[in-house]
Amino acid sequence: MLTPQRALRLMIEVIFVLLGVLVVWLALAGRISDEQRHNVSWLMLSGALVLWGLRALYGPNKWWARWENWTRGLSLTLLGVVMLAISRVPFPWVAPLLATAGVLMLVRGILAAAMVFRPR
């Protein structure tokens, strides 16, 4: 049986899976514009994701949650790096990088959801 804490973590990971599918769909459908990726808010969000991911990697861990923290931290750091790259590459590269960001979120959600059901 799922405890309330594990159920909440599972729902968060399901949201990551759905968000990843949405981002991949947007990238493949070509529903992206060029002006949004050069805003300061895009750079702030990508920098915040990198810092948040590094904090999750560096932060104090319980020994049983080490893999969960590594999955979360590494995925957030990579997502922030991909978002920084999206702001600097030519426009034809934006859709594949955006799809990569979506796949990162999708894989993170699936792996972390599987870890919720792992016995302690």
pLDDT at 64: 60
d(CA 101, CA 114) in angstroms, rounded, equals: 20
d(CA 104, CA 75) in angstroms, rounded, equals: 6
pLDDT in tens, the chain (120 residues): 788 988 998 999 999 999 999 999 999 998 777 777 888 998 999 999 999 999 988 877 666 677 888 888 999 999 999 999 999 999 899 999 999 999 999 999 999 999 888 876
Alpha-carbon distance values, 69 to 17, 73, 89 (Å): 17, 6, 30
pLDDT at 21: 96
